[in-house]
Amino acid sequence: MNSLTLYFCPYCTGWTILNHSVCRDCLRHVELSQPDPTPESIHQLVGDNLRDLGVLVYERQDLPRICHVYATSRGLLFSPQIRKMGQKYILADDRTLACWLGSLRRSLQSRQGQEVEPVTIDAVALLLETPGALFVAFDSISEVVWSPRDCTIRMERRREILLKPHRRRDGTLVRLKDELNSIVVAGT
């Protein structure tokens, strides 16, 4: 089994594989002796109001492709579907996710009629502690190209992001489009 070493790139705010200390996504030199950004600085960058948009396939090499997408007040947070087992991370394939979602559904059904505490997701922890996670600030997006089957997000100082639905007709691309359109309308 191959293992990869991921580094957090402070310029493109995501986990990446370095090639001779150069981020392969934004092509900037990453000084490995510099400490990672503080949680406070990441919170300022990411913002608040985490909204779950769903699961998409993020087409990229060597990193987990199935990602949960969240919208914040300042951008999009992509969190790979992985699980920690001991000291290693494993990909949560469709079967693992189906089992987990099935047990969650059964748990929620057994609690019908009871008050359930809402789940709070810490965007900063999600970004800093999930290998392969990525944050894209709304103001870094230069263009979004939509097709019936996918979405391409282009940025000035980063490789483009190609997103495809994880499940047909689950509405995630529509929610993403609505989110991005609301940002464009609010910004004009």
State pLDDT tens for residues 33-76: 888 888 899 899 998 878 888 888 888 777 778 888 899 989 99
Instruction: Write the Ramachandran bin of 132: left for phi over 0, alpha for psi from -120 to 50, otherwise beta.
Output: left
Cβ contact 70:52 at 8 Å: yes
Instruction: Look at residue 99 in the predicted model and tell me its pLDDT.
Output: 44
Does the residue 97 lie in any domain?
Answer: yes
Residue 180, φ and ψ in degrees, nearest 5: -65, -40
Does the residue 16 lie in any domain?
Answer: no
Does the residue 11 lie in any domain?
Answer: no
Instruction: Look at residue 188 in the predicted model and tell me its pLDDT.
Output: 43
Does the residue 61 lie in any domain?
Answer: yes
Distance (Å, whole) CA 82 – CA 106 = 22
Position 92 pLDDT exceeds 80: no
Does the residue 168 lie in any domain?
Answer: yes
Does the residue 166 lie in any domain?
Answer: yes
Taken as a whole, the chain contains a residue count of: 188
User: Which residues are registered as beta bridge partners of 146?
Assistant: 151
The percentage of the chain sitting over the pLDDT mark of 90, rounded to a whole number, equals 8
Domain coverage including residue 158: 39-187
* Number of helices (H), then strands (E), in the chain: 4, 13
User: Does the predicted TM-score (pTM) go above 0.85?
Assistant: no
Task: Count up the domains in the chain and report the number.
Answer: 1
Residue 153: which CATH number?
A: 2.30.29.30
Does the residue 21 lie in any domain?
Answer: no
The H-or-E segment that residue 160 falls in is: strand 158-165
Distance (Å, whole) CA 29 – CA 132 = 19
Residue 107, φ and ψ in degrees, nearest 5: -65, -45
Does the residue 27 lie in any domain?
Answer: no
